[in-house]
Structure 1
């Protein structure tokens, strides 16, 4: 099977889509698949990830709102690249323009639309929920619903990585929905990575003793992640007991996040940790992961925390909420800093109970299931 991923959200600067695409490039050939990722970039480039795995960039303009990202702007160039690659199945990871161009290319080739983004939750609901009921917001954004419904009818499968997103898409009339939860890096995350000495150092860097609670937040510094809300909630919860927070992330909202932190010595923003074993050790050595984003399509950081035995504090909406299932964490009312503060307090009073099972699906398991489904779709064509 030759799978071509038309990956509009890929950027070498990081993020969940980059992590996912590169995991696919590493794992896919082991599962009998040839993987090509087609991404927009400054220039044409071919990057080999090993036998049967390539990343190819097509010259494209950068996004005006975030120069770390590009967008496909040339339909003939994209379709010509597909002609040269001759895929058995094309996967698209954007709900915008490029999947329409792919849908227009060779109807005899199997196609899947992977919803790595949820614009309704990230933007429409985030902006309108304080003012309007969801039904009114859906009517206001009816053109998007019409667009995604029309797209889904032209694709063999629309892949969602969480029950929450799959359910909302189905309720909105989107066709061919299939839920395929993602997973974590195999052999990287484990409760055994907990290091008391590392925990003590992280707390000392925050000016706190070992008896304090150590919270961690992981993710892009973007509006939908609600980091200022998380910071406010942690500060409120810390009035009752000593708590520290480290945030690992980068992005265009850095100034806003730094302003929310201010001069608080017990909250620090640090660069993302690219060294996976070190990141896994930092995560496992924390007492809880706090998350503010109700627009997650899966919630990778929360899944990695769960695999590390670390309790998760996540919104009650979105993909991250599912990582609290089975006692692995707690949920709070989305977008409510006081509800988050109260939830953190309650978890701290319990001593941040940990799970020592680390039971989370791996990415290999995810790709085994997903590729099995893709082979069925190819056979159907």
Structure 2
């Protein structure tokens, strides 16, 4: 089976989509799938990953809100590339322009929309959180829901990675919604990577001794991740118990986060760690993951921390809620720094680690399920055509 993923938000410089794509390219060949990632880039270029996996870049302008990314602007060029690649199924990886281009591609190919982002939760609900509840915001932004409902009729599958998002899509009148939970690199993330020396070095960098609590936050430094809220919560909780917060990431909110830290010696902002083994070691060496975003479609870093044996301190909404709610005391109200501080202080009453979480789902299981569904869609199209 040949799949082309028209991925409008892929960058080689990192991020959750890049992590997902890297694993997709590696696993697809093992599952008998030929995969091409069609992405905007600085120039027309194809990078071969294996005999059955490649990334084809189309020359495109930079995305104005984040210069690490590029943006599709030429529908004709995207369609011409799809004609050359002749896929059996086309994916779109965001509900924006790339989805429009996939929906408008001529022919009767099955197509899928992967909901890698939840724009309403990530942005719009947050913009209006002090003046309106989500149902009122949904009514005001019904143009976006109309867009999603349109995709629900033009795509054979709208793929969500968590049940919360899938339920919201169905309640909003979107058809063809399928829940396919993601997973982690099971051979990489494990409590066995815990390293006392790494833990003590990070605590020392936060001006703390080895008896303090080490919290880790990691990911893109963007507004929806609510890193300043985590800083405020950790600062407040730190008045009651010794703790250090190590934040790993990069992004457009870096200066805002540094202002929030305001010289607090117990909270440090580090560059992202791109070596996956090194990052897995850092994660396993912490005492808990602190996560602030209630708009995750899955929450990859939370899943990785969970597999590493860490308690998860996170909001009670979005993709990370499935992990946080396993210990309700560590779950906090979204956008509530005081309640997040309360959850941090509740960490001492959390169950001690007992090794890797039972039944941790691997990305191989995710792609097996996803590609099996795609084969079913392709077979159904052939049967209808016959």
TM range (shorter): over 0.9
Secondary structure of 2:38's counterpart equals: strand
Q: 2-side partners of 1:79 and 1:268: how far apart? A: 46
Residue 186 of structure 1: how far off its partner (Å):
3.0
TM-score, with structure 2 as normaliser: 0.96
Q: Which residue of 2 aligns with 1:159?
A: 159
Q: 1-side partners of 2:173 and 2:107: how far apart? A: 22
Q: 1-side partners of 2:37 and 2:125: how far apart? A: 31
Alignment of 1:1-381 (within 5 A): 1-327=1-327, 330-347=330-347, 349-350=348-349, 353-359=352-358, 360-381=360-381
Q: 2-side partners of 1:261 and 1:353: how far apart? A: 29
Deviations along 1:193-241, one digit per CA (max 9) or x if unpaired, are 1111221121112111111000000110000000000000000001111
Q: Which residue of 1 aligns with 2:384?
A: none
Deviations along 1:249-291, one digit per CA (max 9) or x if unpaired, are 0001110011111211111000111111111111001000000
Q: 1:78/1:272 Cα in 2 relative to 1: closer, same or farther (>3 Å)?
A: same
Secondary structure of 2:364's counterpart equals: helix
Deviations along 1:147-166, one digit per CA (max 9) or x if unpaired, are 11111110000000011111
Q: 1-side partners of 2:172 and 2:271: how far apart? A: 38
| Structure 1: gaps of 5 or more residues | none
Secondary structure of 1:319's counterpart equals: coil
Secondary structure of 2:28's counterpart equals: helix
Q: 2-side partners of 1:363 and 1:235: how far apart? A: 35
Q: 2-side partners of 1:185 and 1:346: how far apart? A: 29
Secondary structure of 1:245's counterpart equals: strand
Q: 2-side partners of 1:328 and 1:23: how far apart? A: 31
Q: 1:5/1:212 Cα in 2 relative to 1: closer, same or farther (>3 Å)?
A: same
Q: 1:212/1:260 Cα in 2 relative to 1: closer, same or farther (>3 Å)?
A: same
- Equivalent pairs counted in the alignment come to 380
Instruction: Check conservation: 1:311, 1:328, Cα contact below 8 A.
Output: no
Deviations along 1:13-61, one digit per CA (max 9) or x if unpaired, are 1100011111111110011000100000111011011120000001111
Residue 324 of structure 1: how far off its partner (Å):
2.6
Q: 1-side partners of 2:122 and 2:57: how far apart? A: 27
Secondary structure of 1:28's counterpart equals: helix
Residue 104 of structure 1: how far off its partner (Å):
1.4
CA RMSD between the two structures:
1.3
Q: 1-side partners of 2:135 and 2:280: how far apart? A: 41
Instruction: Check conservation: 1:92, 1:112, Cα contact below 8 A.
Output: yes
Secondary structure of 2:154's counterpart equals: coil
Residue 105 of structure 1: how far off its partner (Å):
1.2
Residue 130 of structure 1: how far off its partner (Å):
1.6
Instruction: Check conservation: 1:287, 1:352, Cα contact below 8 A.
Output: no
Instruction: Check conservation: 2:330, 2:344, Cα contact below 8 A.
Output: no
Q: 1-side partners of 2:107 and 2:316: how far apart? A: 39
Q: 2-side partners of 1:276 and 1:352: how far apart? A: 27
Secondary structure of 1:139's counterpart equals: helix
Residue 354 of structure 1: how far off its partner (Å):
2.1
Q: 1-side partners of 2:42 and 2:32: how far apart? A: 31
Deviations along 1:301-357, one digit per CA (max 9) or x if unpaired, are 00000000000011011001112354498311000000000010011x326732413
Q: 1:101/1:351 Cα in 2 relative to 1: closer, same or farther (>3 Å)?
A: closer
TM-score, with structure 1 as normaliser: 0.97
Q: 2-side partners of 1:42 and 1:250: how far apart? A: 21
Deviations along 1:81-117, one digit per CA (max 9) or x if unpaired, are 0000000010100101221221111341010000001
